């Protein structure tokens, strides 16, 4: 996905990638939530809580297999070149036809993550058209992330009222969608570029700009979901998880610090 002064360009493989990464990342909850609950409830180091979860092994193996399939799609010529996980439905516009509440939840978050990406690219278009982009490309990337997040989290009360939704639920779901967008940004950033270069800021700066700073209640499911996907990223990077936190919110903050 990229943009110039006139248009945003992407193809069907882009949509497939968002779908596969989104549905795969949603499963991080079943893999890491048990250890997260044990750690935050008892003040145990997260790595210790993970080690005592005897059932985690198979769940984590399956999770890593799905993520590997999604990552292979990044470099594949087309979707048919990768082995699609049997427990993830093929992309479809028919949300209700998925027939599974877990799949419907993942569908919603994928749609929001894709919306974030399109808004990010739209800001690139506006910068190019108006000739007012920040002085460096990394600064422009952060500015586009900030624009997309602000757009998606503004006027939520009015939106909720018009559509008959609960404001807190709308706010929570939008934030979770942006978390998923951050996970996808991380996956699409080559390992050699994650420390930053002339084109992109360090990946931790982008994730922080996208995830940190929400005023959601401590019991919001946003914190649990975000903690689980960040734990997954940390496990993929083999980073230490000797973290002690007493709430999901505190865990998210500490995981973001550790990623940096």
The pLDDT-based confidence of 133 (bands split at 50, 70, 90) is confident
Structure tokens given for 95? 């949300």
Choice among 135-139, 150-154, 196-200, 220-224 with the minimum mean pLDDT = 196-200
H or E stretch covering 171: helix 167-188
Domain that holds residue 129: 2-259
- One DSSP character per residue, 84-144 reads --TTSPPP-S-SGGG--HHHHHHHHHHHHHHHHHHHHHHHHHHHHHHT---SSHHHHHHHH
Instruction: Give which of 122, 130, 117, 126 is closest to 206, Cα–Cα.
Output: 117
Task: Evaluate if residue 129 carries a pLDDT over 80.
Answer: yes
Integer Cα distance of 181 and 186 in angstroms: 9
Q: How far apart are CA 194 and CA 204, in angstroms?
A: 8
Give the tens place of pLDDT for each residue, 14-65: 999 999 999 999 999 999 999 999 999 999 999 999 999 999 999 999 999 9
SS3 percent helix, strand, coil of the chain, rounded to 5, is: 70, 0, 30
| pLDDT tens profile 64-118 | 999 999 999 988 989 999 999 999 999 999 999 998 999 999 999 999 999 999 9
Q: In this predicted structure, what is the pLDDT of residue 160?
A: 92
| d(C-alpha 17, C-alpha 72), whole Å | 10
Stretch 128-157: mean pLDDT, rounded? 92
Residue 150: HSE in the Cβ half-sphere, 13 Å Cα cutoff: 7
C-alpha–C-alpha distance, residues 122 and 8, integer Å: 7
The pLDDT value recorded for residue 260 is 64
* Whether the Cβ atoms of residue 186 and residue 203 lie closer than 8 Å to each other: yes
Q: Would the pLDDT of 5 be above 90?
A: no
| Encoded tokens for 146 | 């900030």
> What is the per-residue pLDDT for 259?
83
Round to whole Å and give the CA distance between 16 and 120.
19
pLDDT value for 4: 64
Convert 138-149 into a string of H (helix), E (strand) and C (coil).
HHHHHHHHHHHH
Total number of domains in the chain:
1
Q: How confident is the model at residue 11 (pLDDT cuts 50, 70, 90)?
A: confident
């Amino acid at each position: 996905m990229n943009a110039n002064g006139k248009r945003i360009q992407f193809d069907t493989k882009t949509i497939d990638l968002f779908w596969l990464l989104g549905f795969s990342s949603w499963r991080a909850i079943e893999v890491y939530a048990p250890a997260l609950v044990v750690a935050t409830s008892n003040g145990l180091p997260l790595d210790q809580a993970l080690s005592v979860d005897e059932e985690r092994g198979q769940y984590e193996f399956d999770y890593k297999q799905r993520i590997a399939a999604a990552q292979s799609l990044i470099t594949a010529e087309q979707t048919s070149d990768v082995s699609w996980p049997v427990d993830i439905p093929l992309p479809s516009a028919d949300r209700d036809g998925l027939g599974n509440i877990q799949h419907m939840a993942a569908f919603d978050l994928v749609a929001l993550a894709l919306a974030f990406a399109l808004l990010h690219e739209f800001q690139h278009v506006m910068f190019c058209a108006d000739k007012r982009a920040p002085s460096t490309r990394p600064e422009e990337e952060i500015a586009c992330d900030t624009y997309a997040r602000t757009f998606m989290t503004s006027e939520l009360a009015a939106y909720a009222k018009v559509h008959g939704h609960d404001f807190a639920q709308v706010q929570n779901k939008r934030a979770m969608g942006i978390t998923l967008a951050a996970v996808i940004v991380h996956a699409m950033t080559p390992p050699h570029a994650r420390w930053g270069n002339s084109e992109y800021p360090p990946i931790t700066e982008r994730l922080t700009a996208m995830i940190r700073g929400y005023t959601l209640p401590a019991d919001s499911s946003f914190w649990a979901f975000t903690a689980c996907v960040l734990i997954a990223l940390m496990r993929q990077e083999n980073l230490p998880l000797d973290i002690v936190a007493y709430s999901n919110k505190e865990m998210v903050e500490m995981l973001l610090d550790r990623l940096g």
